[in-house]
Amino acid sequence: MKKSIPAKSFPWLVVPPAAALIFLFGVPLLLVFAVSFATRGTYGGIEWTFTLANYISIADPLYLRIFWRSLWLAVLTTVICLLMGFPLAYVIARAPKRWQGILLFLVIIPFWTNFLVRTYAWMFILRSEGLLSTVLSALGLTREPLTLLFTDTAVLIGLVYGYLPFMVLPLYAALERLDPSLIEAAWDLYARPHQVFVRVVLPLSKPGVIAGCVLVFIPSLGAYVTPDLLGGARSMMIGNLIQHQYLVVRDWPFGSALSFVLMAGVLAALLYYLRAGGARSL
Amino acid sequence: MDGVSADASVVMREVTKRHGTTVAVDHLSLSIRKGEFFAILGPSGSGKTTTLRLLAGFEQPDAGEIIIEGQPMQGVPPNHRPVNLVFQNYALFPHMTVAQNVAFGLEMKGLPSTEIGPRVAEALEMVRLVGKQDRLPSQLSGGEQQRVALARALVNRPAVLLLDEPLGALDKQLRLEMEVELKALQERVGITFVCVTHDQEEALTMSDRLAVMHHGRLLQVGTPEEIYTAPASAFVASFIGVSNSLPGRVQTIDGQRATVAVEGIGLVHAPVCAGLRAGAPVLVTIRPERLHLSRDPATDGSQNQIRVRIAKAIYSGSEMHYLVTLPNNLTWKARVPNADGTAKRFDAGESAYLKWRTTDAVLLPE
């Protein structure tokens, strides 16, 4: 029997985090929500005149294209992270115990450096006279300098790079719990390697797959730094659009409306994903 | 070891397997007959589990040869071997129902679903799990999970069923029931069973023949009776059941009877064993249930007898367990049936004559 301290005995422990969430997250969120129904003032201020115009103007094809690109890039990032992260997590989970710690440590080492700095490093790698282009042409693999920087591909590379650890860690946690004798049992019962994977390993690591996908998809969809530095003006994502509305165009009501649509979209996608994942669990 | 006989189901020839620097299985040669219940008995680390994994195909031997049903198994992966394994922890797929677990092997083999259904039903009936087919493994008791594991393996009708400590996770009462049930099941299906266990009682009860392993080597192969009554070494004797022993030196050999001098006790008689010569150090062993206790000295010379002191008397239902102290300060165990209610029991501290028939002793070369 496990002994646990009932949460009820220390109600006051909940007060600080609850207060922080209410005043630092809930209140600003409500403010943004209120602003999204206001009107932009002549010189960029807020006029408290109720309007739905902000939400209606999102339907503009220009903005819809940015939404679509963000969604597409986020989905692609999640899929690539899953495809790359699964074998990596599997190898780490099956490695000898003393190696597991070292390998996990290597996975999280990039977090030691500021994300912005690491993204700048990618600019050096990806630009036309950059590391990748130089190496590839020196090897004779490309004749012309690569034009990777400021494209969707550059954004995708940056996103996959940035969020891969968020996929690997939950996958590792799920695969580490997987009893190796189950894999042997499937093998003993005539399953070929791909059948062992599809029928036993994948279903039993599903909680890790779901967690990893959620952790990669959500920040990818709202990414700001990566598309700003690697995508430039041509490869804008929703995050950049919102920033643009707030700080450049100074249309706070429209920026707020965009933020809320993004949030609602993430919530809807998440619910759909979890519902679909849950239904398939048996 | 004998050559490949026509009725051999499993043949291992000089099989060696190393794990790093330790030799898990050391030049093991073994022939298991078709349709027999064969037990491999040994303490943990004796190499018995490695032997089973070599047969299942999870590990490949470093040297030697394994032949199953006449087919060399060199390089054959587990999914192509005519064997199925019942795992020690059962290894049931937790996300599949009982029926899905049992059907797994047949599905992987590519059988049509019209054939899978009846065979799964038949297997579940065989292990008395009808009505539980839609449960998840986590909703079953330990004994039921064990039966699902059996059904999941047997449904494939393998040539050889491998069992890794099949009863290890069950409580004592259930284990005794399952010993009988497993043996009956094996006789009914007629499949060769190879069962690895560290429990000598389990091995003796269930098997037609058994092998005793220690440090990766095969010490003795034989029927339970052969192993029990004529252990080939001191290790087998002690591992197969509590055995009393006396270290001594052979004094004379007279036909089938040897006389052994034991320091502090005197002369003891025992049947000769192979390769015995005068002057050799030997171990005289005698099983606790072959000993008798009496208040009067024996009059006929066919018995050995030693005057002992009762150190402890333990009542255990059908028998009395006595710990007795010998004149040379060794402690022996004696088991005396409580069949006759009138026979007076001994109490701790009493003196008694410990007797046994010469033919009941076993000599082991030291």
Give how far B1 is from chain A: nearest CA, Å: 29
Task: Give the one of A179, A189, A203 whose C-beta lies nearest to B108's C-beta.
Answer: A189
Whether residues B25 and B130 fall in one domain: yes
> Which tens digits make up the pLDDT trace of B115-153?
999 999 999 999 999 999 999 999 999 899 999 999 999
Whether residues B228 and B344 fall in one domain: no
Q: Quick check: B105 and A190 CB within 8 A?
A: yes
Whether residues B62 and B155 fall in one domain: yes
Last residue of a domain, one of B201, B220, B238: B238
Whether residues B103 and B206 fall in one domain: yes
Q: Please determine, for residue A46, whether its predicted confidence score (pLDDT) is greater than 90.
A: no
Task: Decide the pairing of beta strands B292-294 and B281-286.
Answer: unpaired
Chain A CA closest to residue B79: A190
Nearest alpha-carbon partner for A148 in A163, A135, A139:
A135
> Which tens digits make up the pLDDT trace of B54-100?
999 999 999 999 999 999 999 999 999 999 999 999 999 999 999 99
Based on its alpha-carbon atoms, the radius of gyration of chain B, rounded to whole angstroms, reads: 25
Give how far B218 is from chain A: nearest CA, Å: 26
Whether residues B134 and B251 fall in one domain: no
Whether residues B82 and B202 fall in one domain: yes
Q: Quick check: B95 and A204 CB within 8 A?
A: yes
Whether residues B73 and B173 fall in one domain: yes
List the strands of the sheet with B351-357, edge to edge.
B292-294, B351-357, B303-316, B319-325, B331-337
- Domains of chain A and CATH, by start: 62-279 (1.10.3720.10)
Whether residues B221 and B252 fall in one domain: no
Task: Give the one of A188, A204, A282 whose C-beta lies nearest to B56's C-beta.
Answer: A188
The DSSP call for residue A43 is T
3-state SS string for chain B: CCCCCCCEEEEEEEEEEEECCEEEEEEEEEEEECCCEEEEECCCCCCHHHHHHHHHCCCCCCEEEEEECCEECCCCCHHHCCEEEECCCCCCCCCCCHHHHHHHHHHHHCCCHHHHHHHHHHHHHHCCCCCCCCCCHHHCCHHHHHHHHHHHHHCCCCCEEEEECCCCCCCHHHHHHHHHHHHHHHHHHCCEEEEEECCHHHHHHHCCEEEEEECCEEEEEECHHHHHHCCCCHHHHHHHCCCEEEEEEEEEEECCEEEEEECCCEEEEEECCCCCCCCCEEEEEECHHHCEEECCCCCCCCEEEEEEEEEEEEEECCEEEEEEECCCCCEEEEEEECCCCCCCCCCCCCEEEEEEEHHHCEEEEC
Whether residues B162 and B228 fall in one domain: yes
The DSSP call for residue A183 is H
Chain A: residues touching B (Cβ < 8 Å): 179, 181-182, 184-192, 195, 199-200, 203-204, 281-282
Last residue of a domain, one of B238, B272, B293: B238
Whether residues B215 and B280 fall in one domain: no
Quick one: pLDDT at residue B5? 60
Whether residues B267 and B161 fall in one domain: no
Global ipTM: 0.80
Give how far A196 is from chain B: nearest CA, Å: 10
Whether residues B16 and B44 fall in one domain: yes
Task: Tell me the pTM.
Answer: 0.80
Show the domain range for B315: 242-365
CB atoms within 10 A of CB B233: 16
Last residue of a domain, one of B211, B238, B265: B238
Task: Give the one of B91, B109, B156 whose C-beta lies nearest to A185's C-beta.
Answer: B91
Quick one: pLDDT at residue A2? 52
CA–CA dist B108, A200 (Å, integer): 12
Quick one: pLDDT at residue A159? 95
For the domain that residue B161 is a member of, what is the CATH number?
Answer: 3.40.50.300
Chain B: residues touching A (Cβ < 8 Å): 56-58, 77-80, 83-85, 87-89, 91-95, 104-105, 108-109, 152, 156
Give how far B110 is from chain A: nearest CA, Å: 10
- Residue B323 domain-assigned (yes or no): yes
State mean pLDDT over A115-126. 90
Chain B CA closest to residue A201: B93
- Residue B3 domain-assigned (yes or no): no
For the domain that residue B252 is a member of, what is the CATH number?
Answer: 2.40.50.140
B84 contacts in A (CB within 8 Å)? Answer: 188-189
- Residue B221 domain-assigned (yes or no): yes
Task: Give the one of A179, A195, A203 whose C-beta lies nearest to B95's C-beta.
Answer: A203
The percent of residues in chain A predicted with pLDDT above 70, rounded, is 95
